[in-house]
């Protein structure tokens, strides 16, 4: 046998013995190395239209469709927005490292969860949800917040009530889910909902300053997120390319490679809202719901990011620092979520 082969075999034997003597650490590290998730090819109208709604590797690993964010410090809040957005002290806040969904959770992802678990959402149990519609002049004069209606039979599968469907909308964010629904999905994956600080850290993507508090736009002046352009609540010019919810990932990602952190759908956090009392940015959805159902838990929770209903003349919450209160048990057509995994 050639001397070179003998030497290589002896070297391999010694390497194995050393690994075993050390408790097999080298082999265990290799076996438990988590592959880097393949990120979705999104960022334009054509790309988001082709997206299936399921990230690469879905069902194969807990980090499928997620981006890892390193720990860091950021300014939590702003002095340029609403009173309840003011930072405490200088606002500098530390966040530990975590994984976060690259997009809002889609109908396809939520359907996968429901199929595996037979989960029934709160809207299905309650028999309806709060749904947005463009009101007529007559409706606007008849009642406040006329753009919100409690619709019997509305739920995540039937976004505008019986006769409507999310079929063909697999790549849209799931909505009409309560915080409990979002938590159930997250826990199924071994994930959590983000704290408000974690969400805002991700939303600001390493930036600070006054530009974060303005309507998001590309260099050419075109909106770079899905929010309301025109006169709310009747005229949406859709100059961002969408009237209503858009598929996830139609706009360019942030510097953290995240899509739709601003606009499209508000997103649940795990934090209770305890700031200054104020009306809902898009009208008092809770008042509408309370006329139709008996509520069991109306604890206000923090939602972040704004939605397709935030406009310069009414909401002005298409910003990472923006925050709003939403009753934990209230399903609505402008609220979705994304999950995180700490570590």
Q: What is the pLDDT of residues 207-248, one digit of tens each?
A: 999 999 999 999 999 999 999 999 999 999 999 999 999 999
Residue 287 CA to residue 284 CA, distance in Å, equals 5
**Average of per-residue pLDDT values in the chain:** 87
pLDDT of residue 178: 98
pTM: 0.85
pLDDT of residue 160: 97
Average pLDDT (263-268) is: 98
**pLDDT for 293 beyond 90:** no
Q: What is the pLDDT of residues 58-91, one digit of tens each?
A: 999 899 999 999 999 999 999 999 999 999 888 9
Residue whose C-alpha is closest to residue 233's, from 305, 155, 147, 157: 147
Q: Indicate the length of the chain as a whole number.
A: 343
Q: What is the pLDDT of residues 8-33, one digit of tens each?
A: 444 334 333 333 333 333 323 333 34
| Listed range (174-178, 288-292, 310-314) with the worst mean pLDDT | 288-292
Q: Please report which confidence band the pLDDT of residue 287 belongs to, taking 50, 70 and 90 as the band edges.
A: low
Whether residues 12 and 58 share a domain: the answer is no
Specify whether the CB–CB gap between 73 and 96 falls below 8 A.
no
> Percent of the chain at pLDDT above 70?
83
Q: Please check whether residue 263 lies inside any domain of the structure.
A: yes
Burial string for 242-269 (b: 16+ CB within 10 Å, else e) reads bbbbbbbbbbebbebbbbbbbbbbbbbb
pLDDT of residue 343: 82
Whether residues 179 and 255 share a domain: the answer is yes
Whether residues 90 and 7 share a domain: the answer is no
Q: Please check whether residue 33 lies inside any domain of the structure.
A: no
Whether residues 50 and 23 share a domain: the answer is no
* Chain position carrying tokens 């599968």: 157
Q: Please report which confidence band the pLDDT of residue 274 belongs to, taking 50, 70 and 90 as the band edges.
A: confident
pLDDT of residue 132: 98
**pLDDT for 196 beyond 60:** yes
| Listed range (34-43, 122-131, 186-195, 278-287) with the worst mean pLDDT | 278-287
**Cβ-based neighbours of 258, under 8 Å, separated by 6 or more:** 67, 100, 102, 103, 202, 203, 205
Q: Phi/psi at 100 (nearest 5 deg)? A: -145, 145
Residue whose C-alpha is closest to residue 195's, from 297, 74, 111, 79: 74
Q: Please check whether residue 38 lies inside any domain of the structure.
A: no
**pLDDT for 284 beyond 60:** no
Residue 87: exposed, middle, or buried by beta-carbon count in 10 A (0-12, 13-18, 19+)? middle
**Cβ-based neighbours of 336, under 8 Å, separated by 6 or more:** 104, 105, 173, 174, 175, 177, 264, 265, 266, 267, 268
Residue 87 CA to residue 174 CA, distance in Å, equals 31
Residue 130 corresponds to which tokens in the numbers above?
A: 């709060």
Whether residues 18 and 154 share a domain: the answer is no
Residue 67 CA to residue 133 CA, distance in Å, equals 34
CB neighbours of residue 170 within 10 Å? 17
pLDDT of residue 275: 76
pLDDT of residue 32: 35
Residue 281 CA to residue 324 CA, distance in Å, equals 7
pLDDT of residue 225: 98
Q: What is the pLDDT of residues 132-187, one digit of tens each?
A: 999 999 999 999 999 999 999 999 999 999 999 999 999 999 999 999 999 999 99
Whether residues 169 and 109 share a domain: the answer is yes
Q: Please report which confidence band the pLDDT of residue 199 belongs to, taking 50, 70 and 90 as the band edges.
A: very high
Whether residues 23 and 95 share a domain: the answer is no
Residue 27 CA to residue 19 CA, distance in Å, equals 7
Strands 335-336 and 266-272: parallel
Whether residues 12 and 78 share a domain: the answer is no
**pLDDT for 296 beyond 80:** no
CB neighbours of residue 119 within 10 Å? 14
Residue 95 CA to residue 289 CA, distance in Å, equals 36
Residue whose C-alpha is closest to residue 328's, from 337, 320, 319: 337
pLDDT of residue 72: 97
CATH number of the domain enclosing 124: 3.90.1580.10
Domain that holds residue 20: 3-27
Residue 15 CA to residue 318 CA, distance in Å, equals 57
Number of folded domains in the chain?
A: 2
């Amino acid at each position: 046998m050639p001397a070179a082969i003998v030497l290589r075999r002896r070297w391999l034997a010694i390497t194995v013995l050393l690994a075993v003597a050390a408790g097999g650490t080298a082999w265990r590290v290799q076996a438990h190395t988590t592959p880097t998730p393949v990120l979705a090819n999104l960022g334009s109208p054509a790309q988001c239209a082709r997206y299936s709604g399921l990230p690469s590797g879905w069902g194969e690993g807990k980090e499928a469709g997620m981006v890892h964010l390193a720990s860091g410090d950021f300014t939590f809040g702003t002095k340029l927005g609403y009173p309840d957005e003011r930072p405490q002290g200088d606002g500098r806040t530390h966040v530990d490292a975590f994984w976060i969904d690259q997009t809002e959770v889609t109908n396809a992802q939520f359907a996968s969860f429901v199929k595996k678990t037979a989960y029934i959402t709160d809207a299905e149990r309650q028999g309806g949800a709060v749904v947005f519609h463009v009101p007529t002049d007559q409706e606007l004069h008849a009642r406040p917040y006329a753009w919100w209606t409690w619709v019997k039979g509305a739920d995540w599968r039937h976004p505008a009530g019986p006769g409507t469907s999310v079929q063909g909308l697999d790549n849209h964010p799931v909505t009409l889910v309560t915080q409990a629904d979002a938590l159930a999905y997250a826990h199924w994956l071994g994930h959590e909902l983000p704290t408000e600080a974690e969400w805002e850290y991700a939303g600001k993507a390493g930036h600070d300053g006054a530009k974060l508090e303005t309507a998001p736009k590309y260099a050419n002046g075109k909106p770079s997120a899905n929010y309301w352009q025109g006169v709310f609540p009747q005229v949406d010019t859709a100059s961002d390319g969408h009237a209503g919810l858009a598929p996830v990932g139609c706009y360019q990602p942030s510097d953290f490679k995240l899509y739709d952190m601003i606009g499209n759908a508000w997103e649940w956090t795990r934090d209770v809202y305890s700031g200054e009392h104020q009306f809902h940015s898009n009208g008092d959805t809770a008042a509408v719901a309370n006329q139709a159902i008996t509520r069991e838990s109306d604890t206000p929770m923090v939602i972040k990011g704004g939605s397709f209903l935030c406009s310069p003349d009414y909401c002005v919450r298409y910003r990472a620092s923006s925050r709003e209160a939403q009753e934990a048990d209230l399903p609505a057509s402008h609220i979705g979520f994304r999950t995180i995994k700490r570590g």
